């Protein structure tokens, strides 16, 4: 999110009381540089130091400076997921600084007033999460929340025009040309609808130029990379559909050589598209084999390369790659074929990382970077 400096001073320095008796003089740029290196929670506490610090930390320029640093800080990378046990949903996050990530799980407060009867985590981007929530007995009324799990702030998004009860997938992205966040929502009938947060309203957009075709329903979210959303369409045997959020133009990106969606659901083979390490990736998964391709140079068919292939014979079907650790091991979200729900595993280990109890199950998880971005300031 672009932002201009709004903190103004009559002098280049500000006096900061350290212990009530002593004082030091620090330039604003130095203060900002120090604070931008800290985790979200300490920075939020420092808002109480003075009005000047509160104004500085709330400045969009500082928010982006902090996010840019966090993107390169392994300690700021976390995974957010929803877990269900005995019909009750819980939100968790865990650090990604080591393979032993699930030894230090943090349970998060719900962004809504009461725990939901049904919920779904759609995607994460720039530290913001898109969550769908339904409450009993009003479960037919499904609301969408934009939530920052690091700060706890959230907003309720307006209701979309077409039925929220139909199966759909969403994507969240930022458009630098309009300095606005946008959410794209599509369902199985290829009805596409988009909301720009500044406008605060949904609008239908043109269908794919070649016609109306069902979207592959195994995807968890739309992949956002290079300013465009991406998904697979069963009518396009050799391409990924793209949709640029700046000019709202559809496009097609060729699949890797030898990969075709023709008969995509035959023999229990499922395909998907995601983002991995900032690159577009596609995968095919089967109970016996999983293959992941990554596009090194966006839009160039020849740049597809096979990252790894994994055999799966232990009752799991790999869904989506989530994260690669410094030792090269990849965190995978896998479908448990023996019981409902998914588990987290790594590409080299056969044991489950989470959950380890048969009573608990997860829907999915998304890697996110802790940020100070306030959903309330985006509308």
DSSP 37-77: TS-HHHHHHGGGS-HHHHHHHH-HHHHHHHHHHHHT-GGGE
This prediction has a pTM of: 0.85
Residue 4: partners with Cβ closer than 8 Å, 6 or more residues away? 60, 61
Q: How far is CA 143 from CA 32, 150, 373, in A?
A: 37, 21, 21
How is residue 316 annotated by DSSP?
A: E
Residue 59 maps to a domain: yes
Q: For residue range 43-92, what is the model confidence (pLDDT) as tens digits?
A: 999 999 889 899 999 999 999 999 999 998 888 899 999 888 877 888 98
Instruction: Show the tokens assigned to 114.
Output: 């009461």
Is 85 part of a structural domain of the chain? Answer: no
Domain with 51, as residue range(s), is: 24-70
Residue 130: its H or E element: strand 128-134
Mean pLDDT of 362-378: 92
Asked if residue 298 belongs to a domain, the reply is: no
Nearest to 373 by CA among 158, 143, 47, 152: 152
Per-residue pLDDT band at 2 (split at 50, 70, 90)? very low
The values of phi and psi at residue 325, to 5°, are -80, 170
Q: Closest Cα partner for 362 from 349, 343, 338, 379?
A: 343
Residue 318 has pLDDT above 50, yes or no: yes
CB 222 within 8 A of CB 229: yes
- Cα separation of 266 and 247, whole Å? 36
* Omega before 355 within 30 of 0, i.e. cis: yes
What number is the average pLDDT over the span 300-306? 93
What pLDDT, on a 0 to 100 scale, did the predictor assign at position 189?
62
Residue 329 vs residue 300, higher pLDDT: 300
What CA–CA distance (Å, rounded) separates 110 from 107? 9
Question: Nearest to residue 232, comparing CAs of 244, 240, 224, 243?
Answer: 240
Q: What is the DSSP letter of 216?
A: P
The C-alpha atoms of residue 80 and residue 87 are separated, in whole angstroms, by: 19
Q: Is residue 31 part of a domain?
A: yes
Task: For residue range 17-39, list pLDDT tens digits in order.
Answer: 434 433 445 688 888 999 999 99
Q: Is residue 191 part of a domain?
A: no
Structure tokens at 343: 């588990």
69 CB burial (10 A radius; 0-12, 13-18, 19+): middle
d(CA 160, CA 302): 39
Name the more confident of 51 and 354: 51
198: left (phi over 0), alpha (psi -120 to 50) or beta: alpha
Q: For residue 14, tell me if it sits in a domain.
A: no
Query: Please, what is the end-to-end C-alpha distance for the chain in angstroms?
Result: 13
CA-to-CA dists, residue 318 to 27, 123, 264, 345, angstroms: 51, 18, 16, 9
Is 46 domain-assigned?
Answer: yes
| Predicted confidence (pLDDT) per residue in 131-189, tens digit | 988 765 554 567 889 999 999 999 999 987 765 555 778 899 999 999 999 999 887 66
Least confident piece of the model among 138-152, 232-246, 259-273: 259-273
Number of domains making up the chain: 1
d(CA 219, CA 231): 8
Place of tokens 């293959």: 291
Quick check: helix, strand or coil at residue 302?
Answer: helix
Confidence of residue 330 (pLDDT cuts 50, 70, 90): confident
> Is 48 within the bounds of a domain?
yes
CA distance 174 to 303: 25
């Amino acid at each position: 999110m672009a932002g201009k400096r709004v903190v103004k001073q009559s002098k280049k320095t500000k006096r900061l009381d350290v212990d009530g008796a002593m004082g030091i003089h620090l330039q604003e740029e130095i203060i900002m540089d120090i604070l931008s290196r800290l985790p979200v929670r300490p920075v939020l506490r420092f808002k109480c130091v003075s009005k000047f610090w509160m104004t500085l930390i709330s400045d969009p320029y500082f928010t982006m400076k902090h996010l840019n640093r966090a993107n390169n800080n392994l300690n700021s990378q976390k995974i957010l997921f929803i877990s269900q046990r005995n019909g009750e949903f819980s939100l968790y996050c865990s650090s990604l600084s080591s393979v032993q990530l699930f030894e230090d799980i943090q349970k998060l407060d719900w962004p809504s007033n009461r725990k939901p009867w049904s919920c779904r985590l759609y995607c994460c981007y720039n530290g913001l999460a898109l969550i769908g929530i339904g409450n009993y007995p009003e479960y037919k009324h499904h609301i969408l929340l934009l939530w920052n799990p690091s700060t706890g702030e959230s907003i309720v998004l307006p209701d979309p025009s077409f039925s929220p009860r139909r199966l759909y997938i969403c994507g969240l992205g930022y458009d630098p040309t309009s300095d606005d966040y946008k959410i794209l929502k599509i369902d199985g009938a290829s009805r596409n609808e988009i909301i720009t947060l500044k406008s605060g309203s949904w609008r239908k957009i043109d269908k794919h130029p070649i016609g109306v075709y069902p979207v592959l329903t195994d995807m968890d979210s739309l992949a956002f990379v290079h300013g465009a959303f991406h998904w697979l369409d069963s009518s396009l045997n050799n391409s990924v559909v793209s949709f640029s959020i700046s000019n709202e133009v559809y496009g097609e990106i060729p699949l890797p050589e030898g990969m075709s969606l023709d008969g995509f659901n035959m023999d229990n083979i499922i395909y998907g598209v995601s983002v991995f390490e900032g690159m577009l990736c596609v995968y095919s998964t089967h109970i016996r084999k999983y293959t992941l391709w990554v596009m090194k140079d966006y839009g160039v068919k020849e740049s597809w390369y096979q990252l790894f292939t994994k055999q799966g014979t232990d009752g799991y079907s790999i869904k989506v790659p989530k994260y690669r650790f410094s030792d090269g091991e990849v965190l995978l979200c896998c479908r448990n074929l023996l019981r409902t729900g998914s588990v987290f595993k790594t590409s080299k280990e056969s044991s489950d990382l989470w959950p380890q109890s048969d009573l608990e199950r997860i829907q999915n998880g998304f890697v996110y970077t802790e940020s100070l971005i306030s959903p309330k300031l985006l509308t």
